[in-house]
Chain A
Amino acid sequence: MNVPADLFYTEEHEWVRLEGEVAVVGITDYAQHELGDVVYVELPQVGDHVTQSEPFGVVESVKAASDLFAPVSGEVIEINAALEDAPELVNNDPYGQGWMIKVRPSNWEAERANLLDAEAYRRLIEQE
């Protein structure tokens, strides 16, 4: 199971990567594997505000529809439009082309304490 070392993770299987002032968010390899083939991703609109641990969208697969939980709070500055026509990117490249939203974090320093590092996340999924 792929768990990149340079990312932070939530217990709900989202990942976040800080690129300068921007946080990129998606779901983990473990999550896409559990979900099965993703058929649709419902994303917020640019300009929406997301809150850490609150739902910001929905990922729909052939067997389930699951809420997506924000790993950080902030303003949505970009969404991955490619997922509209190619939701399978979430399965094929969950940490790369399968990214979902980009957020300008409003409180990164305080909120990162609530996230798991790669080690902690790997332990979590090994237990599940």
Chain B
Amino acid sequence: MRYTPHTEAERQAMLKAIGVERIEDLFADIPAQVRFPSLDLPEGMSELEAQRLFAALAAENATVATHPCFLGAGAYYHFTPALLTHLLFRGEFYTAYTPYQPEISQGTLQVIFEFQTLVCQLTGMDVANASMYDGSTALAEAALMAVRLTRSRRTRLLISEAVHPEYRDVVATYSQGMDIELVPIPFDRRNGTTDVEAVRAALNEHTAALIVQYPNFFGQIEPLGQLGELIHGVGGHFVVSADPVALGLLKPPGDFGADIVTAEGQSLGIPLMYGGPYVGLFATRMKHVRQMPGRVAGQTVDIEGRRGFVLTLQAREQHIRREKATSNICTNEALIATAVTIYLSAVGRHGLRQVANLCYHKAHYLAQRLTALDGYELAFEGPFVREFAVRTPVPPAELNRYLWETHGIIGGYDLERAYPELKNHWLLTATEMNARADIDRLVEAVAGYPGSPAPSR
């Protein structure tokens, strides 16, 4: 493309036309003391100096690469195959922009189409979009979509308290100022899943949807069959936020009649990266597709009958419908979605199942060894995949500090932080990245915690 900058003469003519002397005059509304701050930047560095500076800074970080990690709670340390990085960093993938012009973007559009296909296969649904920002905003968009599907006649959303607390915050943020009522549903203290009786009691003809997570924040597996029946029984929609690695083992939400399925794609080979960028997966039934937010790539044929791909159903989107669009989103997480597509293509169905199996067995090994210690018990009954909660004899915050300072181990999540009634409850994760030796080290470290109560035998 050509770059055609303005000439000085053109700039002067434009300024004259709007009646100012200089460009600086356009900023007159900004208070003088902050209008043109002096930046006081240091002198530029040579490449060698810059390399040394960043290497020194990086060396100050402690990462999951060098410290065993048992923390999950929404972001998980999983394996990133070298194949993924190698392909993703190819210029054709890495620098490709939004495929607004299909005639020069067939590669990008095909990747998006394959991504959407994989999301549908994973979740058991009919159609997926080109991705959302992350799992939390994907769930928030699903909540709004569920209300729109009732033509905004129903405005109550039941949301399980076993859904990730930060996801619930994001749903609340997205629905504020709208005529939407968020109704929290408590979880059963015995099995850590959504209280089915509480759902039954809360349902009425104004309920647009029931929102649950699978597995939920505590790692427990929700009874999707029962829950789906309840919400459909009143004519509402079933919205499920799922974990893609767990779906390597579990029956997908689509098979339980979910209407909208969302997920955080980070577990599919994406490094933790201090919180992002991640990628939101979003899938629904074909009959709801016109209310689905986000970009969609579609398959079609050109005038010679050859297969091609385009962005489609754009009349749902911002740039066409403005305030009547299905969402304000006008983008997707293309690079991370491409990474997820590469990951799933590389590991395949069997590989993903293998990852899920490894997580399952390591998490259960960890649970078994830890609960053999005095004072440590599983907090909830019922199956889990990769994450579980234990009741601890000492505060998890103290355990975590001790594990980090004495052993360089990153401990689990202190559930009291989000659930005041769950004092001394510790949420732990084990993935394929937790070697057996590391799990043993954690258990021995916990057993040797100086603040432990004296053994009862």
Contact = CB atoms under 8 A, between A and B. Distances in A.
B320 A65 contact: yes
A45 interface: yes
A65 B151 contact: no
A40 B290 CA distance: 10
B321 interface: yes
Given A45-B151, A60-B315, A65 B321 contact: yes
Interface in B142-180: 151
Contacts of B315: 40, 60, 64-65
Interface in A35-91: 40, 42, 45, 58, 60, 64-65
Contacts of B151: 45
A65 B151 CA distance: 18
A45 B152 CA distance: 13
Interface residues of A, number: 7
Contacts of A40: 290, 315
Interface in B276-290: 290
A65 B320 CA distance: 7
A37 to B, nearest CB: 13
Nearest to A55: B324
Nearest to B316: A65
Interface string B298-342: 000000000000000001000011001000000000000000000
A37 B320 CA distance: 17
Nearest to B151: A45
A64 B315 CA distance: 7
Nearest to B320: A65
Contacts of A65: 315, 320-321
A42 B315 CA distance: 12
Contacts of A60: 315
Contacts of B321: 65
A64 B324 CA distance: 13
Interface in B359-386: none
Interface string B38-54: 00000000000000000
Interface in A5-52: 40, 42, 45
Give the one of A42, A58, A60, A64 with max B CB within 10 A.
A60
A3 B290 CA distance: 33
B320 A64 contact: yes
A42 B151 CA distance: 12
A60 B325 CA distance: 13
Contacts of A42: 290
Contacts of A64: 315, 320
B427 to A, nearest CB: 45
Nearest to A44: B151
A60 B324 CA distance: 13
B335 to A, nearest CB: 30
Give the one of A42, A45, A64, A65 with max B CB within 10 A.
A65
Contacts of B324: 58
A3 B392 CA distance: 80
A35 to B, nearest CB: 12
A45 B290 CA distance: 16
Nearest to A42: B290
A72 B170 CA distance: 42
A65 B322 CA distance: 11
A58 B326 CA distance: 14
Nearest to B312: A39
Nearest to B317: A65
A65 B314 CA distance: 9
A60 B424 CA distance: 57
Contacts of A45: 151
A112 B290 CA distance: 34
Contacts of B320: 64-65
Nearest to B314: A65
Nearest to A45: B151
A60 B320 CA distance: 11
A64 B319 CA distance: 11
A118 to B, nearest CB: 31
A29 B324 CA distance: 26
A3 to B, nearest CB: 28
11 contacts: A40-B290, A40-B315, A42-B290, A45-B151, A58-B324, A60-B315, A64-B315, A64-B320, A65-B315, A65-B320, A65-B321
Given A45-B151, A64-B315, A65-B320, 8 more contacts: A40-B290, A40-B315, A42-B290, A58-B324, A60-B315, A64-B320, A65-B315, A65-B321
7 nearest A-B pairs in the assembled complex, by CB-CB distance: A65-B315, A60-B315, A65-B320, A65-B321, A40-B290, A64-B320, A45-B151
